[in-house]
Structure 1
Amino acid sequence: MAVRRVLLIENEEDKKILKSKSVRVKQFDKSLQALVQDMIDTMREQNGVGLAAPQIGVLRRVIVIETPPIEEARDDGSTVVVEPARLYVMVNPEITERSDERRPVQEGCLSLPGWYGDVPRHTWVSIKYQDLNGKEHRLKRVDGAPYRLGHIVQHEIDHIDGVLFTERIEDLTTLHNVNQEQPRRRRVGLLRRRAAEQPGS
């Protein structure tokens, strides 16, 4: 398949697409499979943990998520993977239930490279979605811990609704550009490294 260009918020033409609401998928065919494979390839090439179809210019309600592995430190200083990375493909995803409690989570976005800010997210969500064959799946009270499925899915569903993470930030003083703060540090893999540093992940 192919790695696609990720649309950027700072580009006015791209932003028009990113701010548009996506349409439901009705045809579960080879073109959908090709789109999803391109999304997975693009997400991995960009070292992201999630990608929504609008981010590559396709206004369809499709998201892909790859949760980072959970590692634990051993006494000898080495680490062991206790939960491997897991790939999710969600077509027409919906949040059907959410916690009353929210907590701020530092978020970034492939469409705004280098920028991070604290976004209040629900501590758990229940999700309904379809797979590539149109079969419906439900996940109950999915953990919304930083960079876990319940957290990432809130960000990606916002994308298919035309909502950018910067619009969810309540305290704009938390928004910062790590590329300006650390100009010599490469951004590649930064989001995954930050995820690994989060408590409980």
Structure 2
Amino acid sequence: MAIRKIRQLGDEVLRKKSKKVTVFDEKLKELIEDMAETMKWANGVGLAAPQVGILKRVVVIDVGEGLIELVNPEIIAEEGEVVGVEGCLSIPGITGEVARPKKVKVRAQNSKGEFIELEGEDLLARALCHEIDHLDGILFIDRAQRIIEEDSEEG
């Protein structure tokens, strides 16, 4: 396992659409392990493969309930709406108020290629939407109703 470099706003890879994963091998498992380690190291709750420079449809999420690994995830149902503050490991120092579904249902595959479904509410729903957006080159600042820049003068 290794800590990978997190790409920052301005890196063109963050704006590209990721490709569907068709090969479920050791290389994919290594990517997922590295992403999980990188996310934990950076104190994040989610990380998408484009954020580490890989244009594959892979995300990892941990909102405090254990690691979730999703390959080729897609939102198949959503319910309600809630506005909340989001940040991103690729856009340090900026947060924004973003409207997201209160509840989502996601279909994906695991690292072995087996199909799974997952439901998420509140923070997990927000994280799922945020990370899946990354796979399509969409950043939270594109959806934000209001951007909040952290004051670097705070002490």
Q: In the alignment, does 2:107 pair up with 1:128?
A: yes
Partner in structure 1 of residue 76 of structure 2: 96
Partner in structure 2 of residue 192 of structure 1: none
Partner in structure 1 of residue 134 of structure 2: 159
Give the number of aligned pairs.
155
Q: In the alignment, does 2:39 pair up with 1:43?
A: yes
SS of 1:21's partner is coil
Where do residues 161-200 of structure 1 align in structure 2 (5 Å cutoff)? 161-170=136-145, 172=146, 175-180=147-152, 182=154, 184=155
TM-score (norm 2): 0.95
Structure 1 residues 114 and 32, CA gap change in structure 2 (3 angstroms): same
Q: In the alignment, does 2:24 pair up with 1:28?
A: yes
Partner in structure 1 of residue 92 of structure 2: 113
Q: How far apart in 2 are the matches of 1:136 and 1:180?
A: 45
Structure 1 residues 3 and 155, CA gap change in structure 2 (3 angstroms): same
Identity level (%): 41
Q: How far apart in 2 are the matches of 1:53 and 1:139?
A: 19
Q: How far apart in 2 are the matches of 1:158 and 1:181?
A: 32
CA RMSD of aligned residues (A): 1.2
Matched AA of 1:160 = L
Q: How far apart in 1 are the matches of 2:36 and 2:118?
A: 21
1:181 is displaced (CA, Å) by 5.5
Partner in structure 2 of residue 149 of structure 1: 124
TM-score (norm 1): 0.74
